[in-house]
Amino acid sequence: MPEPCITPNTVQPLPLILAGPILRQVTAQHITLWLAVSQPLEGSVQVYQDDPLSSTLSETPFFSGDLATGEHIQIGQRAWIYQVTFQGEFPVDAPLSYQILTQQGDLTDELPHLLYDGESRIRFTINTRADYVMHGSCRNPHYPSKDSLVAADNKVGGQALHERPSLLVMSGDQIYADHVAGPMLDAIQQVIALLGLHGESFEKAHVDNSNALFAHPYNFYHRDKILPHYLEGGEEVFERVPRVANWLRRKVPVFSSRESNNHLITLSEFVAMYLLVWSPVLWRFVDSNKLQQLDFTWHGHTLAPQWQQVWKNEKPIIDEFVAGLPQVQRLLAHLPTYMIFDDHDVTDDWNLTVGWEQAAYGNPFSRRIIGNGLLSYWLFQGWGNAPENFDETFMARMQDFFSAPNRDRQDSLIDYLYRFEQWHYTVNTTPKMLVLDTRTRRWRSESKMNKPSGLMDWEALIEMHQGLIHEPAVIIVSAAPMFGVKFIEMLQRGMTWIGQPLLVDAENWMAHPGSANTLISIFTHTKTPTNFVILSGMCTIPSRMT
């Protein structure tokens, strides 16, 4: 077992539950719960069927499942991720409730804020109809507006059980790995020490390992100088006058985000950020004023005055975000929740063009960072969407890495994840909900490297069509809008024409002729449903076509 990134704080006792429970995939045959915990779980989950005509809850569970049977992965010295899927015959469209009994007692005794007013257990429903779907995307902790998940919790808390949404779907950017506030990054690194999260070493990077990164003078607000670069320009004269070509070349950042000065890098940083945006628990152990009290000095380095002011501006926004996290944790415990990535879950413009891919995946350091984002996405989001997509081979690879992480195993696992093609999934409600992967199976441009790729390649689009045919109606979840605002698409087309698609996030379904024509053919096919709703993130443009 490698040493953790930072000397862990093993003296301070931790609560058992660090994040969760999050209610994930639910069907008539399966109930899936996700939790992050500080020690191996013991106990059971009890499910009750309650009387729909009475507010009195049943005293006797009709189902009890052993927590020890859940799949789990140790991600640090004091951190485990559990995903517990119970199989049985569960009532649908009926009031249910659950309680988790652990070695420390009832879950709701330890975390009473998980209950809405009047509840003694967490109540939910396995709905067969998706006629009321709660949808959101793009959650940035230091964006200067209210957290919409808090508003969603307020809404659900005021509804009777039968009035609540059938499910919650989040269509991308559940974290912003490429745009992180300074106070959040400091909290992340405190959590890494607190939990003893695993360290890692890097190849062909400005820093050799996690410890060197956290002690580096560029750790806060200057990570754009640490992130990988490549040489661009001069190719057209290189063959004839190589010395002149070298003068023409310039260093260009591999990552195109314009706000990458605190970009997450290590797997432990991605992990800690998820824990901090989904639960209030670990914030009780974070000293959010620590760096400021140290005059913004760490390892002998001092933050420049202008960045100290940025920190001070970000701090109250983060504090307000943290204040709403008990409600976020409560909402996710009650509503079946489904998620899919967009670019910021990993990095801005992820796989936007062939040129972007060649620069990013051809560099070992950026390849590792992107892989860390994808690996953390699976741990915290993808795993619970459709557990059946991750077979024994997949799980064995995960266990092999986390049981004894090192650089070679991490690179091997990341290579495997890059080849994996089952991030998309279906929720078998009425209407059926198809959740698309618009990031990892792209239709690459064959004409120019800087032209936007199609959001899905031909094979992925045909698979989508197979899921549509013969359905009377369908809900499609696409991180990028299928039918966007024409002015925005014209602007994107213009910037692509002058060779700058990265400046305007030129990602729309019409940007690539092959994928655009195939998509139109699918929607005009005689066996395609005549009624469908499209839920998209990014620009927050829902489309409904009938």
SS3 sequence of 227-262: CCEEEECCHHHHCCCHHHHHHHCEEEECCCCCCCCC
In this predicted structure, the answer to whether residue 4 has a pLDDT above a threshold of 50 is no
Mean pLDDT on 265-269: 99
Query: What SS3 string covers 505-534?
Result: CCCCCCCCHHHHHHHHHHHCCCCCCCEEEE
Distance CA 523, CA 115 (A): 43
Q: pLDDT tier at 417 (50, 70, 90 boundaries)?
A: very high
In this predicted structure, the answer to whether residue 25 has a pLDDT above a threshold of 80 is yes
Question: Which sign, positive or negative, has the C-alpha torsion 522, 527, 530, 536?
Answer: negative
pLDDT in tens, 120-159: 999 999 999 999 999 999 999 999 999 999 999 999 999 9
Q: What is the DSSP letter of 175?
A: S
Nearest residue to 84 via CA among 48, 50, 40, 118: 40
Distance CA 541, CA 294 (A): 44
Pairwise pLDDT comparison (483 vs 21), residue with the higher score: 21
Contact 269, 192 (CB under 8 A): yes
In this predicted structure, the answer to whether residue 314 has a pLDDT above a threshold of 90 is yes
* Amino acid 253: pLDDT: 86
- Considering only the C-alpha atoms of the chain, give the largest distance between any 2 of them, rounded to a whole number of Å: 84
Return all residues near 277 (Cβ < 8 A) that are at least 6 apart. 139, 141, 174, 175, 325
* Amino acid 528: pLDDT: 84
CA distances from 366 to 204, 411, 450, 516 (A): 10, 12, 19, 30
* Amino acid 239: pLDDT: 44
Domain locations along the chain? 422-546
Window from 69-78, 217-226, 362-371, 447-456 with minimum mean pLDDT? 447-456
Percent of the chain with pLDDT over 70: 87
Distance CA 478, CA 519 (A): 13
Distance CA 511, CA 452 (A): 6
Residue whose token pair is 């053919």: 521
In this predicted structure, the answer to whether residue 112 has a pLDDT above a threshold of 90 is yes
- What are 124's two structure tokens? 């939910």
Nearest residue to 378 via CA among 403, 404, 402: 402
* Amino acid 9: pLDDT: 52
Mark 395-407 as b/e (b = at least 16 C-beta within 10 Å). Answer: eebbeebbeebee
Contact 188, 68 (CB under 8 A): no
Distance CA 407, CA 360 (A): 18
In this predicted structure, the answer to whether residue 186 has a pLDDT above a threshold of 70 is yes
Window from 180-184, 378-382, 406-410, 488-492 with minimum mean pLDDT? 488-492
pLDDT in tens, 501-518: 444 455 667 776 778 888
| Mean pLDDT of the residues in the chain | 89
Pairwise pLDDT comparison (540 vs 508), residue with the higher score: 508
Distance CA 546, CA 474 (A): 11
Q: pLDDT tier at 274 (50, 70, 90 boundaries)?
A: very high
* Amino acid 91: pLDDT: 96
Task: Give φ, ψ of 4 to 5 degrees.
Answer: -70, 165
Return all residues near 313 (Cβ < 8 A) that are at least 6 apart. none
Q: Does the pTM of the predicted model rise above 0.85?
A: yes
- Cis-peptide, bond into residue 228, ω within 30° of zero: no
Secondary structure of residue 433 in the 3-state scheme? strand
* Amino acid 232: pLDDT: 65
Q: pLDDT tier at 250 (50, 70, 90 boundaries)?
A: low
Q: Are strands 105-106 and 96-102 parallel, antiparallel or unpaired?
A: antiparallel
Nearest residue to 90 via CA among 5, 165, 1, 30: 30
Residue whose token pair is 């992967």: 437
* Amino acid 243: pLDDT: 52
* Amino acid 507: pLDDT: 65
- Cis-peptide, bond into residue 431, ω within 30° of zero: yes
Task: Go through the chain and tell me how many residues it has.
Answer: 546
Contact 168, 134 (CB under 8 A): yes
- What are 130's two structure tokens? 């998706």
Percent of the chain with pLDDT over 90: 75
Pairwise pLDDT comparison (425 vs 495), residue with the higher score: 425
Pairwise pLDDT comparison (414 vs 253), residue with the higher score: 414
Pairwise pLDDT comparison (278 vs 489), residue with the higher score: 278
Q: Are strands 30-37 and 79-87 parallel, antiparallel or unpaired?
A: antiparallel
pLDDT in tens, 191-238: 999 999 999 999 999 999 999 999 999 999 999 999 999 876 544 434
> Helix crossing, 182-195 with 305-323: angle to 10°?
70
In this predicted structure, the answer to whether residue 168 has a pLDDT above a threshold of 90 is yes
In this predicted structure, the answer to whether residue 36 has a pLDDT above a threshold of 90 is yes
Pairwise pLDDT comparison (281 vs 546), residue with the higher score: 281
Window from 76-80, 384-388, 423-427, 479-483 with minimum mean pLDDT? 479-483
Secondary structure of residue 378 in the 3-state scheme? helix
* Amino acid 493: pLDDT: 52
Give the start-end residues of each E strand in 50-156.
Answer: 63-66, 71-76, 79-87, 96-102, 105-106, 122-124, 133-136
Distance CA 134, CA 240 (A): 60
